[in-house]
Chains A and B, each alone.
Chain A
Amino acid sequence: MAERESTDFLYPFIESDERDTAGLLADLARSADAKAVLSEQLRAATLTAYADALAAAATAMAERFLGGGQLFVFGNGGSSTDAATIAELYARPPIGRGFPARSLVDDQAVLTALSNDVGFELVFSRQLIAHARAGDIALGVSTSGNSQNLMTAFAEARRRNLLTVGLAGHDGGGMAVPGVVEHCIVVRSDSVHRVQETQAGVALDLWDRVQRSFEEMSHR
């Protein structure tokens, strides 16, 4: 990999003969298009491969919501922001029915207190201990499927009879091991970016299925 030192831009004479801005822009545009195509292909392939699993997860989640359960969503880094977006979609959707849902990454006081006092691997599980009841739902998002704080949170969630749902990437990591997460969707790509884009698409598809399942169940 031809990675440069961060100070290289201070010495433009190194490649001062490079003046083909138009060529670079054309390369960039082609690259963007190619990556967008890949992203769309990965999303479509994942939704096809996991159609039955998503239907089953949606039914189980709708049952929990119907029974008064609430949804806790969590993840780290970029996945924490995607978790927050998922929680927002469930709680305050632009269309459709809202459900009690929130992200476990929104409160800096809680996150830093738990990280400082008991360890970062417990930041989500300790919040579940405080807030979760049997019948609730735990939804964790990870590109590797191996984040330790997600693994401990899923273990705690199962102990408390929460429904567990996972969005993982790569080969699914620890989250894909049978018994760890009841409904685990694995986005099979090694690109963290493409995984996150597809996880968002999967989350939206799942939400749409939950909406429909809930409507069907509530009219029975």
Chain B
Amino acid sequence: MVDHDGEPKSGEPLEHAADSQPRSEALGDLAQDLASTSLTLARRFAAGATLWCTAPAWPAHARHIAVEFVHPVIVGKKALPAVAVPGPDPVGSLRQLGRPGDVVVAVAAADDPVVADVMRRAGAWGLVTVWIGMGDRVPTGAADQVLWLPDVDPLAPYGGRFVLLYHLLWELTHVCFEHPGLLVETPESCEVGEVCVTCSDEGRLGEVVEVGAGDEASVRTATGTEPVDTSIVGAVLPGDLILVHAGTAITIVDQG
């Protein structure tokens, strides 16, 4: 029983009965996804991260997530920094507001072009990404953590299913805070004989900030902004996503 939220339980007499079942099919694989996302979130918060929330098609969901973390409904739980991304341009706002190590959570369908753009660029900004959605699932790798409901009913976003998901995310994140020994992220060690992206600098995602004279551009990556030689890839423009290796742009991943 990991639930120590201290709230009265008189309205939930079935809690223990439900707990005693070895495995319910209420959430299926989603339960595991929620667990790992919550631990990631707790670890990032413990390291000082801010949670940025965006939901272009359903802005109320982004606000609900933010208020959940900032102003917990259960007295005694700590307030955590979460913000609904302000303004009509989430990409432009997050580019300025997001700091390396922060987390961005989006509530959006798989075909939301704005959220897809946020997720594509988040690596260059050093942000950890969580994508909550329903219906057709986003492809593997579209976000660091994916919390997906199988519902295809177009009315489901209005019926409380998303609300349940982010409530559980909040509740489980706070359970993780009761285990401070597990909140420290240990860096993944290199496997001998394999190429380690981090150590070998094989290619880090970068976003062109400014194009300089000659073949040089100022490029933002997860570790900061640095000068990059663009002679191999040719002309680049601000906003282009590139792969950077040893101070050189080796590929244009995405233009604009």
Contacts and interface: CB of A to CB of B under 8 A. Distances in A.
Contacts of B18: 33-34, 37-38
A107 interface: no
Interface stretch (B93-101, B167-175, B190-198, B202-210): B167-175
A168 B239 CA distance: 48
B163 A200 contact: yes
A195 to B, nearest CB: 8
B246 interface: no
Given A8-B180, A9-B183, A28-B176, A36 B12 contact: no
A39 B164 contact: yes
B203 to A, nearest CB: 29
B61 A85 contact: yes
Interface string B176-193: 111111111000000000
B3 interface: yes
B231 interface: no
A21 B183 CA distance: 9
A153 B106 CA distance: 33
B181 A32 contact: no
Contacts of A63: none
Given A6-B78, A84-B60, A197-B163, A25 B180 contact: no
Majority SS at the chain A contact face: helix
B154 A12 contact: no
Contacts of B168: 32, 35-36
Contacts of B38: 28
A126 to B, nearest CB: 22
Interface stretch (A132-140, A156-164, A186-194): A186-194
Contact of B71 (A14, A24, A77, A203): A77
B70 to A, nearest CB: 10
A76 to B, nearest CB: 10
A189 B12 contact: yes
A28 B34 contact: yes
Contacts of A32: 27, 30-31, 34-35, 168, 172
A189 B7 CA distance: 11
Contacts of A89: 155, 158
A70 B176 CA distance: 45
Contacts of A196: 160, 163, 167
Given A12-B181, A77-B67, A197-B167, A38 B175 contact: no
A19 interface: yes
B27 A33 contact: yes
A30 interface: yes
Interface string A140-152: 0001000000000
Which 10 A-B residue pairings sit nearest by Cβ, starting from the closest? A18-B181, A200-B160, A189-B11, A28-B35, A15-B181, A1-B6, A81-B64, A94-B154, A36-B26, A204-B159
Given A1-B4, A9-B46, A28-B176, 6 more contacts: A9-B183, A35-B171, A38-B18, A191-B9, A197-B160, A199-B160
Interface of A: 1-4, 6, 8-9, 11-12, 14-21, 24-43, 77-78, 80-82, 84-86, 88-89, 93-95, 143, 170, 188-194, 196-201, 203-204, 207-208
6 contacts: A2-B4, A20-B182, A29-B32, A35-B171, A170-B11, A191-B11
